[in-house]
A and B are shown apart, each in its own frame.
Chain A
Amino acid sequence: MRHLLSTEDLSLHDAIRILDTAEEMSAVGEREVKKLPALRGRTVVNLFFEDSTRTRISFEAAAKRLSADVINFAAKGSSVSKGESLKDTAQTLAAMGADAVVIRHWASGAPHRLAATDWIDAAVINAGDGTHEHPTQALLDAFTMRRHWSKLAGTPSAGADLTGMRVAIAGDVLHSRVARSNVWLLRTLGAEVTLVAPPTLLPIGVEKWPCAVSFDLDETLAQGVDAMMMLRVQGERMNASFFPTTREYSRRWGFDDNRLRALDSLGLKDTIIMHPGPMNRGLEISAAAADSPRSTVLAQVRNGVSIRMAALYLLLSGENREPAAAPVSVSAATSPAANPNLTYSHQESH
């Protein structure tokens, strides 16, 4: 794995490896010293062309817990607002010696562009591009589901997948990169996904996705759901009217108090309610649902740091990584590992 761009092309093996590594990373948050020296001397650039608080600070916390140096680059108030292109920005970062670029961009495909070109020789992590993908969000959702699913089964979560888990994702699928990333990843992990949305908020071609589609949230709940994920109604992307009023949306597709009670009457006592945040309380999720013991919203935020630590660790450690834009360095020629006469056997790890 060189970049983390999408979950569509993420293999089951790689997905499980990220989830298992995140399992070990989560233990660090409970220790006396909440820091590991693994990425000491590496530089991670958070390149954000779009507003984001939680994803950016989550990546920042993850990088800092691994002892990497973090540079935050927000498009607002930077040279990008003066008209600098993505290429020039990337080459500037390359010249500064970035080892990883965490990029969020309003254009779908911007991270792929960065990874496919020779503008910058750094690991690229997609932190959300347009309406395309948001792989680390899907991974932290899957991590949260896997912990819940293994706890129910009474088995350790390490190495497990989500076979047999029924997941419903409801809301603004059309604009949601979270929904897309989740559909691909959850399929890979063996879960059954149902998308629930008004027809106006479903993308063209959704019938070819590896999931079921429903227009009726109550019907989907009645069929049984193990994890209910609500998506945010993205007001900033609503340049046309997709539904008549917010009240009607909330009544038909929001997770309100009636539906929270319905979970109990349907006998779904272990169903969790998920939300990627930020929540529009009272619109797609009621306050009672968001604050109920079923809600995993805060666990998702916590797990986000572990997942991002795992992604950064797996992409940035390892022999195939070369320092970005590094001229021939003196230390590389004299370090023991570069000198075959001094090398000790790596395979044995003694």
Chain B
Amino acid sequence: MLTRVVLNQADIDRALTRIAHEILEANKGSQDLVLLGIPRRGYPLAVRLAAKIAAADPTVDAAAIVGQLDVTMFRDDLSHQPTRPPYPTQLPRTGIDNKVVVLIDDVLYSGRTIRAALDAIIDLGRPRIVRLAVLIDRGHRELPIRADHVGKNLPTSSSEKVRVRLEETDSVDGAPINEVVIEATA
């Protein structure tokens, strides 16, 4: 199997720093911001983004604006896949009503996860605005969905796989790993 590293640790960090500033710019500040990460790898990215937003705007408490949104039960492919155990959904204490919710995921591909996430959000409350930030946009959309903030646009073939490895979720034997690789399956 051919693998190619497309983003290393420094690239990921720079992309997240830029997205954090873009989020602040689009929102004209930090008021009403809520970052919801989609498990598994969207959540650690949301935590990193919140830390960067807090660094840029000292009035922000990073822990108070981050949440996790599980979309498992809202997927449209539940009956075509092995059973997935759900992950916890944790909202910030302030809730999401009338907030500016930024959904965060690692890779945007078909758009079906985001479709499920939008359904999940509606069952939890009514945000004022919902935006989408992703680390990688690899194309091949199957639904009319686009991201507001993109770390890197990565043209891919649908036979390739994009793997995001983060130290929070993918560390092997304690060795931190932060990279995005493309795997070409024969």
Contact = CB atoms under 8 A, between A and B. Distances in A.
A317 B108 contact: no
Contacts of B162: 348, 350
A344 B112 contact: yes
A24 B120 CA distance: 14
A32 B74 contact: no
Contacts of A38: 72-74, 78
Interface stretch (B22-30, B43-51, B59-67, B80-88): B80-88
B124 interface: yes
B87 A32 contact: no
Interface residues of B, number: 37
A320 B72 CA distance: 17
Nearest to B89: A27
Interface in B95-144: 105-110, 112-113, 119, 122-125, 138, 140, 142
Nearest to B126: A32
Contacts of A35: 123
A37 B74 contact: yes
Contact of A17 (B85, B106, B108): B85
Nearest to B122: A33
Interface in B6-57: none
Nearest to A344: B110
A31 interface: yes
Nearest to B85: A21
Contacts of B138: 350
Contact of A24 (B70, B79, B83, B112): B70
Interface in A188-242: none
A245 interface: no
A20 interface: yes
Nearest to B109: A350
A17 B83 CA distance: 11
Interface string A338-350: 0000101111111
29 contacts: A20-B85, A24-B86, A24-B87, A24-B88, A24-B89, A25-B86, A27-B88, A27-B89, A32-B124, A37-B73, A37-B74, A38-B72, A38-B73, A38-B74, A313-B73, A313-B86, A318-B79, A318-B81, A318-B82, A319-B80, A319-B82, A337-B80, A342-B142, A344-B110, A345-B109, A346-B80, A350-B105, A350-B106, A350-B138
Given A36-B123, A350-B107, 6 more contacts: A24-B87, A36-B73, A37-B73, A313-B83, A336-B142, A342-B142
